[in-house]
A and B are shown apart, each in its own frame.
Chain A
């Protein structure tokens, strides 16, 4: 199989991720953060918090909260900071993990929402966000890079032009974490949510919320922490306040080795390899007028993604043939981001999205291009 669906979930993972997960689950469970810690065992919870803090230039490791994914991290902030009458600004590029919690709060009459339009590449003009700010604006939720077009937003142009810092910024870095360098402190944002199973090379069901010092959303859940068990209320210190319940330590181990792999390999080098694949796809398909790229603009910052449709053919048929006939896994549809498609002209069915990884080979890309040319010409 040729796997070109890394925007959804990365595959394969680095060998160190597989090996260390296995090592971890075969050993006696031991958890320093839960008053355990067998002599010589590794304190993965602490180590992973530290490596994530290092990777994203976060001042203190305790600002890193482990979650079950971006969805939980985003919900934590959205449900933990908004009160009746608050106004939220978000964008057409958001994933349903942002749109659905916001729309649900709007439906209940708790908040009002302004959804800022993007252009045909999925770029949001920063001033269009600033122009929506009102007296009751409390939160801006923005996707760092669209999971459809991969267009990266200019976050500093938003954070540097806020009229006051009572307005909090929640960044959905699900597509950018592990994919492009991110300096949390320099971005001047309040919250950053990301998932582990995409470009962080970890397991599904992992993720993080990074919280800027001084912010204290209400926790989404309360419960056991393994320490301070005599208290009948959730301990209020970071990160315990947000981490009730037995943590997904196997997932955290995978997050550690995923992050370590990225740091050791060099994130810019990895991105260069992925982008080279996209350049090749463009080169090998551009002479076919039936293959219609969507949302691609080489003059702006975009991640390594190639979206396309085939003239007069259902995107579902194309991805079905790729998978069943050619054994190439690619995703078609709306990619859980329903609003952006009106700007891409693909609201009917969505797109076919190709997202290579650093492990994708040139031969795989050539094979994909040959397959898609054959499909487009025949159907």
Chain B
């Protein structure tokens, strides 16, 4: 899977560390469960569409919904975006 776009997300506070990552395909259940290799994964399968949240100690957390083409990353520091892309996506 490939990242096709990274959109900055503003929130009420300093949103500079929040990015929407857009992919060229849907996020599958298999991909979500592969995230357990990188941090602590919580998966809520009973919602209308399943929600997941991955926390990677002190670096970032991501959240998303299965079947979407996007996920949201909350970075403690911008430099961890590359960490995420290199370790999780590639």
Interface residues of chain A, those whose CB is within 8 Å of chain B, are 316-317, 320-321, 324-327, 333-336, 350, 371, 374-375, 378-379
**A324-B64 in contact (CB<8A):** yes
Closest Cβ–Cβ distance, residue A310 to chain B (whole Å): 13
**A325-B49 in contact (CB<8A):** yes
Given contacts A324-B64, A324-B65, A325-B65, contact A350 B47 (CB under 8 A): no
Closest Cβ–Cβ distance, residue B5 to chain A (whole Å): 17
**B63-A326 in contact (CB<8A):** no
Closest A residue to B49 by CB, please name it: A325
**B11-A321 in contact (CB<8A):** no
Q: Point out the residues of chain B lying under 8 angstroms from A378, CB to CB.
A: 44, 46-47
Q: Point out the residues of chain A lying under 8 angstroms from B7, CB to CB.
A: none
Contact residue among B12, B48, B50, B72 (Cβ-Cβ distance under 8 Å from A320): B72
Q: Point out the residues of chain B lying under 8 angstroms from A336, CB to CB.
A: 12
**6 further contact pairs, Cβ within 8 A, besides A317-B63, A326-B48:** A320-B72, A321-B47, A324-B49, A326-B47, A378-B46, A378-B47
Closest Cβ–Cβ distance, residue B79 to chain A (whole Å): 23
Closest Cβ–Cβ distance, residue B45 to chain A (whole Å): 9
- Bound Cα distance A20, B7 (Å): 35
- Bound Cα distance A344, B46 (Å): 31
Given contacts A378-B46, A379-B44, contact A321 B12 (CB under 8 A): no
Closest Cβ–Cβ distance, residue A149 to chain B (whole Å): 16
**B63-A320 in contact (CB<8A):** yes
- Bound Cα distance A171, B87 (Å): 54
Contact residue among B11, B50, B51 (Cβ-Cβ distance under 8 Å from A316): B11
**B12-A324 in contact (CB<8A):** no
Summed over the interface, the residue pairs from A and B with CB atoms below 8 Å come to a total of 40
Q: How many residues of B contact A (CB 8 A)?
A: 15
Quick one: which of B1-56 are within 8 Å of A by CB? 11-12, 44, 46-51, 53
Interface residues of chain B, those whose CB is within 8 Å of chain A, are 11-12, 44, 46-51, 53, 63-65, 68, 72
**B46-A321 in contact (CB<8A):** no
Q: Point out the residues of chain A lying under 8 angstroms from B47, CB to CB.
A: 321, 325-326, 371, 374-375, 378
Given contacts A317-B63, A379-B44, contact A324 B11 (CB under 8 A): no
- Bound Cα distance A325, B63 (Å): 12
**A371-B48 in contact (CB<8A):** yes
**B48-A317 in contact (CB<8A):** no
Q: Point out the residues of chain A lying under 8 angstroms from B11, CB to CB.
A: 316, 333
Q: Point out the residues of chain A lying under 8 angstroms from B48, CB to CB.
A: 325-327, 371
Q: Point out the residues of chain B lying under 8 angstroms from A350, CB to CB.
A: 12
Nearest 9 Cβ contacts at the A-B interface: A333-B12, A324-B65, A334-B12, A325-B47, A325-B49, A326-B48, A325-B65, A325-B48, A321-B51
Closest B residue to A371 by CB, please name it: B48
A–B complex contacts, Cβ < 8 Å, 9 sampled: A317-B53, A317-B63, A320-B51, A324-B49, A325-B48, A325-B49, A326-B49, A333-B12, A335-B12
Contact residue among A320, A334, A374 (Cβ-Cβ distance under 8 Å from B46): A374
Closest Cβ–Cβ distance, residue B53 to chain A (whole Å): 7
Q: Point out the residues of chain A lying under 8 angstroms from B49, CB to CB.
A: 324-326
Closest Cβ–Cβ distance, residue A151 to chain B (whole Å): 20
Q: Point out the residues of chain B lying under 8 angstroms from A327, CB to CB.
A: 48
